[in-house]
Amino acid sequence: MSLIQPRTLKGFRDLMPDQALRRADIVRVVEDVFRAHGYGPIDTPILEYAEIIKGKGGGEIDKEIFEFIDKGGREVAMRNDLTVPLARYVAQHEGKLVFPFRRFHIGLAFRGERPQRGRAREFLQCDADLIGPVGVAADAEAMIVMAAVYAALDVGKVTLRVNDRRILTGLLEAVGAPDQAAPVLRALDKRDKLGDETVRKEMSGVGLDDAAIDRVLAACTPGESDEATLAALEGLVGETDAGRAGIDSLRQVRRLFEAAGQDPATLRIDPSIARGLDYYTGIVVEAQLDDLPDIGSVGGGGRYDDLAGLYTKSHMPGVGFTVGITRLMDALDALERGGEATCTTEAMLTYPGDEHLTEAFAFSAALRRAGIASEVYPQPKKHGQQMRYADRRGIPFVFTRNEDGTFHGKRMSDGETLRCSDASDAVGWMRPT
């Protein structure tokens, strides 16, 4: 029988141990920030009914969904983000939840888009959402938690570029195209990638004349300062209620953001931010890694006041964001900030023969009880081979069972040694007080 070629699907990837450890460390930091702000974990299935996933993503996004007929003849789809499943979740379990409901969810999502740097078909998302309240306090909280996550990750300067869709809605009312919000917003979302000419063509295709397009593009260009940007927008949206509400909200979000002790320079009001998903209704945000802006956003989100209405008659507005861990790791690799390969094992036990396995296992277990991650080399190979294994793994301490019943310890970084009779001696040496 011929061998099957080992290979992965395009857009999917294996993680080597050091990459998986680094991702786990990042996730742990993100979880700690979420918990510190009162958010608790949930989980939802990767596979959902297709009508759930395709509820309100939008035409372009729906084209990227992995969907198929399962063995039961049902139309199913793999989740392409964690927000739509959340809307289904709160609608289905409404009676069991306490509102306002703060949740975080860390899990894989899938999109059938063209793989490229910073874009994969399988990717890890870390979402935090606040369901229930409407208003500036909830919007500001989302921005504050998001900024706190990137600060804790210590990935370099990250700018949160924020806008409010009500400003764009008001602008379209002012130019006489109130019913074209969805296609215009999707066109604007492509501006950074495709340029003004393509965006103009798309907006013209949905009925905007040249004067209206000029006004929209002028409004979507940030000024020298946030206040200058907002002042310009006030003149462009006119007296429209939606536009005024969006501008006032952004001013208040910035004030609360600074009151929470966040660096004011982290938040930038940028009217070019649109977000491509149809369900956003208010504030929208994209996180940009300043040292590598061309990789795209490393996180994003916003307010979605009508999303859960697809599944329940109850009004469940929400605001939240995602941290794109997969793209963030790609960016750190490109910037050569991926970190050194790490190892979970702090100490390894070697032994000269199987007759010493009992003592080696007992010594290793005693180290673990003291809080030191420990392993026993699983076969009695030559001592040199066992030491080379420890060196390649990056294990910092190695202990060898001697014929006389003692243990010989070696610190791999500098070769310092210790002769010890039991694990307590080793613990004191490894972690001096």
Mean pLDDT, the chain, rounded, equals 90
- pLDDT value of position 118: 66
- pLDDT value of position 59: 63
- 421 pLDDT band, cuts 50/70/90, is confident
Q: Which DSSP state fits 412?
A: T
Burial label, 160 (beta-carbon count in 10 A; 0-12, 13-18, 19+): buried
- Residue 341 above 60 pLDDT? no
- 326 pLDDT band, cuts 50/70/90, is confident
Residues 275-280 have a mean pLDDT of 75
Per-domain residue ranges of the chain: 17-334, 347-430
- pLDDT value of position 223: 85
- 388 pLDDT band, cuts 50/70/90, is very high
Q: What one-letter code names the amino acid at 190?
A: K
| Top-confidence residue, 297 or 75 | 75
Q: What is the pLDDT of residues 54-75, one digit of tens each?
A: 866 556 678 899 999 999 999 9
Would you mind telling me the total number of residues written for the chain in this entry? Answer: 433
Q: What is the pLDDT of residues 131-148, one digit of tens each?
A: 999 999 999 999 999 999
Classify domain 347-430 at the CATH topology level. Rossmann fold (3.40.50)
- Residue 232 above 80 pLDDT? yes
The arrangement of secondary structure in 17-334, i.e. its CATH architecture, is 2-Layer Sandwich (3.30)
- pLDDT value of position 1: 80
- pLDDT value of position 290: 92
Residues 27-46 have a mean pLDDT of 97
The lowest-confidence range among 89-103, 180-194, 227-241, 269-283 is 180-194
Q: What is the pLDDT of residues 96-134, one digit of tens each?
A: 999 999 999 999 999 998 887 767 899 999 999 999 999
- pLDDT value of position 329: 87
- pLDDT value of position 5: 95
In this structure, the number of other CB atoms found within 10 A of the CB of residue 63 comes to 11
Contacting residues for 372 by C-beta, under 8 A, at least 6 apart? 346, 347, 427, 430, 431
Cis check for the bond before 100: say yes or no (omega within 30 of 0).
yes
Burial 175-210 (b: 16+ CB within 10 A, else e): bebeebbebbbbbbbebbeeeeeebbebbeeeebee
- Residue 265 above 90 pLDDT? yes
- pLDDT value of position 56: 60
- 368 pLDDT band, cuts 50/70/90, is very high
Measured distance CA(295)–CA(309) in Å, rounded: 34
Structure tokens at 385: 């081979």
Q: Is residue 149 within 8 Å of 281, Cβ to Cβ?
A: no
In this structure, the number of other CB atoms found within 10 A of the CB of residue 142 comes to 25
- pLDDT value of position 339: 61
Residues 221-245 have a mean pLDDT of 90
- pLDDT value of position 218: 83
- Residue 298 above 70 pLDDT? yes
Q: What is the pLDDT of residues 172-224, one digit of tens each?
A: 888 887 777 778 877 877 787 788 888 889 888 888 888 888 888 888 888 88
Residues 392-401 have a mean pLDDT of 93
Which of 379, 383, 365, 359 is CA-nearest to residue 427?
365
- pLDDT value of position 428: 92
- Residue 156 above 80 pLDDT? yes
Q: Examine domains 17-334 and 347-430 and report if their fold is the same.
A: no
In this structure, the number of other CB atoms found within 10 A of the CB of residue 370 comes to 15
